């Protein structure tokens, strides 16, 4: 019964969807100069720094991709 009612509502377009224009709490809360001064440092992501283990995993993934490409190319 619930399934049929949901299907009817979807076919009838009762669910109109979200608003056409979205608003940001950050843009509403701060002045434009604060938003322009905000810089994103890729090494300091949400207060977390890339440590040695993260660097190792990144290099290891690149190494595995190179090994796979060489194996595909050379056989």
Output the six-digit token pair for 58.
């990144």
Rounded CA separation 54/6 (Å): 46
- Residue with tokens 């669910």, as numbered in its chain: 15
Q: Return all residues near 43 (Cβ < 8 A) that are at least 6 apart.
A: 49, 50
pTM > 0.85: yes or no: no
> Which pLDDT does position 62 carry in this prediction?
95
Domain boundary assignment for the chain: 1-74
pLDDT in tens, 19-71: 667 777 877 788 888 777 776 777 766 666 667 778 889 999 999 999 999 99
């Amino acid at each position: 019964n619930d399934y049929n009612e949901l299907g009817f509502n979807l076919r009838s377009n009762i669910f109109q969807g979200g608003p056409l224009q979205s608003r940001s709490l950050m843009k509403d809360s701060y002045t434009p100069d604060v938003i322009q001064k905000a810089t994103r440092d890729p090494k300091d992501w949400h207060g977390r720094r890339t440590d040695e283990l993260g660097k190792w995993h990144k290099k290891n993934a690149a190494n595995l991709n190179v090994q796979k490409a060489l194996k595909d190319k050379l056989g």
